[in-house]
Amino acid sequence: MAVKLADDKREWYKTAVFYQIWVRSFADGNHDGIGDLYGVYDKLDYIKSLGATAIWFNPLYPSPNADYGYDISDYCDINPEFGDMDQFKKVLNRAHELGMKVVMDLVVNHTSDEHPWFKESRKGGDDNPYRDYYIWRDKPNNWDSLFEGDAWEYDDVRGQYYLHLFAKKQPDLNMDNPKVREEVKNILRFWLDLGVDGFREDVINFISKKEGLPNGIGFIPVIGQMHNYKDGPHIHEYLKEFREVCDEYGAVQIGEGPMTTVDSALNYLSGRTKSMDMMFSFDHMTADCLFTEYMHRPFKLIRLKKALSRWQYKLADRAWNSLYLENHDHPRVISRYGSEKFHRASGTCLATAYMFLKGTPFIYQGQEIGMTNIRLKSIDDYVDVSSKTNYNKYHLKESVASRLHRIHLSSRDSARTPMQWDSRDNAGFSDVKPWFFVNPNYKDINVAAEEERPDGILNYYRTCVKLRAKSKTLIHGSYKEYDPENPLVYMYERNLGKESYIIICSFAKENIPFMLPKGFAGHTAKLVLTNYPRKRKTGEIGILPKKGLRLSPYEAMVIKMKRK
Ligand code: GLC
Ligand code: CA
């Protein structure tokens, strides 16, 4: 039995840096072209070398892979493609030995339709204990799923429709059923007893649906319906039950909240209804799109700054932020918010822009070497269910080339190409043909090549992590944005007592002048980080110039100074 820990025992997450692993594409250790836990084991030292202190694993459980692991058929085992329970324990123990925590993905809004609960539930029957594990109706409402058209699918066996907010093979669990909540608590205990340190909780703001499942109204289908299943009436009640289990172990909880607003996130993060230590928001991921990446619009720095600042200011001392620019659901950030042409400069600039915000940084596999989007030739080459639906459902009047271009910009598959380790065949990911296409730029963009580049993206990430780790100000200091209407430069300050760090990032593709805001010029300051080491020297102390700075394309810097 675990001992009850005081709340602050889990506060390790505030100083942590997470590395996120989507195992299928990370490293293949047993020569079948699929990434696995043998591969992960061999790379733990590499992860440690980044300065990461925690790992988040995307789902490792048995899954028919309709949504690559997010359709789970057994919550308490390891997908045989990835290894087995013994191998998982080896990875867990070794990670712990190296001083890294391990966080698992908890996906309980839905299961796979091949989960035994669903197989039983389909049979119906009055004394079937699984009858009400899912959401069954004689007549569907007008909801759309996020992945595959209509949110309801007729089941011949049961003679009723079941709800699936995502793919057809992902039926939604009925969280209003106390038995289902007991199952969730058992899953939590199972992994906590094994020694994992917490959970990233998938679409957790969707698990309680509005009573009676009313029709949605509104212009854009999914958005008009969402208020019927987002932040539902019992959400905090249910999450409190899960929180109590996690409290017994001091386990960290990180909620994924698609389309969550900062105000609603605060209900999960603070006060009486606090159930989460951090939330993943999508706000700042819409700087080049509307609602989903498929609805593309040109990148605007102002949109990114506004979203980041909104969360920084609102959470401030009330709650803790999670910081990310990439994960398995979004295309690569250099291709989106940076520039493939200014690859190194924009990759390091983006790192600077987000790593020093207040909160816990997450680095997604491949982000640290600047991996970019893949451009496949035909929609048949893509494997992600949502890409296929988008292609086949929207913009049908456009040419094939134009729809494919939209997929190039938006597909989640760009985040899921095999990790580029070196310049050997298959990018050193596997010694046989990988399960998915390797990005053809792997000969130049890979870990081994980056290790040889002192000024490369990889070593820059390492420097950022180190700088943050040794500074109380960068971890706990307050946030203030300057010049918010500037369309090309992001500037903010982190302050604690008399110490301040000033972060300046240019997103311009050419040289630009930048006037420092009032109160900065004439100050003595020290440059502590630059992504233009040939132009500027770190460690140099100087006076901030009255005539302003001349910034190179995607130039970023961190300056330290004293405040009165
Ligand atoms: C979350 C996951 C995503 C998955 C979806 C359905 O958004 O991050 O990968 O497809 O939930 O489980
Ligand atoms: Ca393998």
Other Cβ atoms within 10 Å of 231 Cβ, number: 20
Segment 54-103, tens digit of pLDDT = 999 999 999 999 999 999 999 999 999 999 999 999 999 999 999 999 99
Report whether residue 105 contacts ligand 1, using a CB cutoff of 6 Å: no
At 244, which CATH number? Answer: 3.20.20.80
Segment 500-513, tens digit of pLDDT = 999 999 999 999 99
Where among 436, 466, 496 does a domain terminate? 466
Mutate to test the pocket of ligand 1, among 24, 166, 254, 362 (most ligand atoms within 8 A of CB): 166
Considering the domain architecture, whether residues 276 and 140 belong to the same structural domain is answered as: no
Q: Given this model, what pLDDT does residue 217 score?
A: 84
Other Cβ atoms within 10 Å of 454 Cβ, number: 10
Flag whether pLDDT at 121 surpasses 90. yes
User: What is the distance between the alpha carbons of residues 68 and 37, in angstroms, rounded to a whole number?
Assistant: 16
The arithmetic mean of pLDDT across residues 426-437, rounded, is 98
The arithmetic mean of pLDDT across residues 215-221, rounded, is 80
The arithmetic mean of pLDDT across residues 400-428, rounded, is 98
Instruction: Please tell me the total count of domains within the chain.
Output: 3
Domain range enclosing 527:
474-562
Other Cβ atoms within 10 Å of 153 Cβ, number: 18
At 528, which CATH number? Answer: 2.60.40.1180
Considering the domain architecture, whether residues 314 and 380 belong to the same structural domain is answered as: yes
CB 109 within 8 A of CB 206: yes
Residue 161 bridge partners (DSSP): 137, 154
Does the pTM of the predicted model rise above 0.95?
Answer: yes
Segment 136-191, tens digit of pLDDT = 999 999 999 999 999 999 999 999 999 999 999 999 999 999 999 999 999 999 99
Q: What is the mean pLDDT of the chain?
A: 96
At 155, which CATH number? Answer: 3.90.400.10
Q: Which atom of ligand 1 is nearest to the CA of 67?
A: 10
Flag whether pLDDT at 415 surpasses 50. yes
Residue 136 falls inside a structural domain: yes
Q: How far is the CA of 248 from the centre of ligand 2 (A)?
A: 35
Going through 331-417 in order, the beta strands assigned E by DSSP cover 360-364
Considering the domain architecture, whether residues 94 and 104 belong to the same structural domain is answered as: yes
Q: How confident is the model at residue 224 (pLDDT cuts 50, 70, 90)?
A: confident
Considering the domain architecture, whether residues 450 and 341 belong to the same structural domain is answered as: yes
Ligand 1 atom 7: residue of nearest CA: 203
Q: How far is the CA of 21 from the centre of ligand 2 (A)?
A: 15
Q: Given this model, what pLDDT does residue 564 score?
A: 81
Active site residues: 202, 256
Residue 44 falls inside a structural domain: yes
Considering the domain architecture, whether residues 398 and 458 belong to the same structural domain is answered as: yes
Residue 2 falls inside a structural domain: no
Where among 136, 151, 174 does a domain terminate? 174
Considering the domain architecture, whether residues 292 and 366 belong to the same structural domain is answered as: yes
Report whether residue 202 contacts ligand 1, using a CB cutoff of 6 Å: yes
Flag whether pLDDT at 116 surpasses 50. yes
Q: Given this model, what pLDDT does residue 10 score?
A: 87
Residues 6+ apart with CB under 8 A from 489: 301, 483, 504, 505, 506, 507, 508, 512, 514, 551
Report whether residue 136 contacts ligand 1, using a CB cutoff of 6 Å: no
Residue 87 falls inside a structural domain: yes
Segment 303-319, tens digit of pLDDT = 999 999 999 999 999 99
Considering the domain architecture, whether residues 291 and 210 belong to the same structural domain is answered as: yes
Residue 75 falls inside a structural domain: yes
User: What is the distance between the alpha carbons of residues 61 and 104, in angstroms, rounded to a whole number?
Assistant: 10
Considering the domain architecture, whether residues 481 and 459 belong to the same structural domain is answered as: no
The arithmetic mean of pLDDT across residues 432-460, rounded, is 98
Buried b (16+ CB within 10 A) or exposed e, 277-314: bbbbbbbbbbbbbeebbbbbeeeebebbbebbbbbbee
Q: Which atom of ligand 1 is nearest to the CA of 71?
A: 12
Q: How confident is the model at residue 354 (pLDDT cuts 50, 70, 90)?
A: very high
Report whether residue 364 contacts ligand 1, using a CB cutoff of 6 Å: no
Residue 39 falls inside a structural domain: yes
Considering the domain architecture, whether residues 406 and 284 belong to the same structural domain is answered as: yes
The arithmetic mean of pLDDT across residues 425-447, rounded, is 98
Q: How confident is the model at residue 8 (pLDDT cuts 50, 70, 90)?
A: low
Report whether residue 70 contacts ligand 1, using a CB cutoff of 6 Å: yes
Segment 538-550, tens digit of pLDDT = 999 999 999 999 9
Q: Given this model, what pLDDT does residue 1 score?
A: 45
Q: How far is the CA of 325 from the centre of ligand 2 (A)?
A: 28
Q: Given this model, what pLDDT does residue 52 score?
A: 98
Considering the domain architecture, whether residues 73 and 117 belong to the same structural domain is answered as: no
Residue 49 falls inside a structural domain: yes
Q: What are the DSSP calls for 430-455, one per residue?
A: -SS--SSPPPGGGGTSSHHHHHT-TT
Considering the domain architecture, whether residues 144 and 193 belong to the same structural domain is answered as: no
User: What is the distance between the alpha carbons of residues 182 and 196, in angstroms, rounded to a whole number?
Assistant: 19
Q: Which atom of ligand 1 is nearest to the CA of 328?
A: 9
Ligand 1 atom 4: residue of nearest CA: 70
Residue 478 bridge partners (DSSP): 495
Residue 1 falls inside a structural domain: no
Residue with tokens 């005539």: 547
Considering the domain architecture, whether residues 134 and 265 belong to the same structural domain is answered as: no
Q: Given this model, what pLDDT does residue 225 score?
A: 86
Q: How far is the CA of 318 from the centre of ligand 1 (A)?
A: 27
Report whether residue 166 contacts ligand 1, using a CB cutoff of 6 Å: yes
